[in-house]
Amino acid sequence: MSRLKLPTIAPSEITPEEVWRSRRVWLKHAGMGAVAAGAGAFGVPSWAQDARSVLAATPNPNFRLPDEATSEKDITSYNNYYEFGTGKADPFENAHKLQVRPWTVSVEGEVARPRTFDIDELLKLAPMEERVYRMRCVEAWSMVIPWSGYSLSHLLKAVEPTSKAKFVEFTTVLQKENMPGTRSRIIDWPYVEGLRMDEAMHPLSMLVFGVYGKQLPSQNGAPMRLAVPWKYGFKSGKSIVRIRLLENMPLTSWVKIAPHEYGFYANVNPDVPHPRWSQATERRIGGGFFAPRVDTLMYNGYGEQVASLYAGLDLRENY
């Protein structure tokens, strides 16, 4: 049970919220997730009570999967969003502090028409589609998520990339006073990610505004995040505020922290282990603690669509 972190501070110092959290996390690890989720008695709103607005989206049959979708509860309560803490339940508990309005996204750099977009313009820039994507974290767990959004290429084309644009950098929001996790220095905030231009223009690269037919909850990256399903989850930055087109490869957050563990490409690859986690298999969230692990697929199963982008690239060197 190495995942279970027991509190090391005296019980008298623990605030009610921490008591609630450690109890809930403990219950979850003890396989009593359903009991834990009904924690309304502790005064914390549960996922079921949230009243996010509906976001109309048309299912796109080209992006359908045979896999059963992960539950809305798991998708919105088991998250990585380090700005709100490194625990899996921290974003669920803390992200309501994120201010998501007003919100603008500037698109700049190697483009003929740099522009700052209001989030309401971005919501209307292209038809909203629902696509079910398999998402794989480098920590060897995965989910199947019905996202609402459209291809990132729509936005990039709108600003007219110049011939010098070879990479795209995504900077995510930093609201220090609302983000308790940013007091820790694990990351040199703000969180920055990037793609090669051809990866960013690939139709699978998606700007996401919603999940399960509703606007994104903050813990999933409201009001706009990226979803790049053939890459490890850390490439899919949440709550994006700036997109910069560049001639050179940007220095991204995880490459900066641990270049031997995290590469710029970060394509899902069962044959290249991370120093701390084998990438051969994964745990599908929601299957229960004792569910069998599933084999991880090259490019997370999207090889038919994306393998040609990497022809001639050594994937052991470029992990």
Ligand X SMILES: Nc1nc2c(c(=O)[nH]1)N[C@H]1C(S)=C(S)[C@@H](COP(=O)(O)O)O[C@H]1N2
User: Interface residues with ligand X (CB under 6 A)?
Assistant: 79-83, 135, 137, 172, 191, 220, 233-234, 236-239
20 binds, among Mo ion, ligand X, none (CB under 5 to 8 A by kind): none
Burial code of 199-230, b = ≥16 C-beta within 10 A, e = fewer?
Answer: bbbbebbbbbbbbbebbbbbbbbbbbbbbbbb
110 vs 264, beta carbon nearer ligand X: 264
20 vs 170, beta carbon nearer Mo ion: 170
Q: From residue 149, how far is each of 15, 50, 111, 225, 303 by CA, in Å?
A: 39, 21, 23, 9, 22
161 binds, among ligand X, Mo ion, none (CB under 5 to 8 A by kind): none
- Longest alpha-carbon distance in the chain: 62
In whole angstroms, the minimum distance from the beta carbon of 184 to ligand X comes to: 12
215 binds, among ligand X, Mo ion, none (CB under 5 to 8 A by kind): none
In whole angstroms, the minimum distance from the beta carbon of 239 to ligand X comes to: 6
The backbone torsions φ and ψ at residue 58, rounded to the nearest 5 degrees and listed phi first, read: -95, 125
Cis? peptide before 190, omega within 30° of 0: yes
Q: Read out DSSP for 97-165? A: G---SS-EEEEEESBSS-EEEEHHHHHTSS--EEEEEEEEETTTEEEEEEEEEEEHHHHHHHT-B-TT-
In whole angstroms, the minimum distance from the beta carbon of 254 to ligand X comes to: 8
Would you state the structure tokens that stand for residue 260, as one six-digit string? 């031997």
In whole angstroms, the minimum distance from the beta carbon of 233 to Mo ion comes to: 4
140 vs 245, beta carbon nearer Mo ion: 140
237 binds, among ligand X, Mo ion, none (CB under 5 to 8 A by kind): ligand X
267 binds, among Mo ion, ligand X, none (CB under 5 to 8 A by kind): none
Q: What whole-number distance in Å separates Cα of residue 251 and Cα of residue 22? A: 36
In whole angstroms, the minimum distance from the beta carbon of 144 to Mo ion comes to: 15
90 binds, among ligand X, Mo ion, none (CB under 5 to 8 A by kind): none
| Residue 3 and residue 86 in contact, taking contact as beta carbons nearer than 8 Å | no
In whole angstroms, the minimum distance from the beta carbon of 242 to ligand X comes to: 12
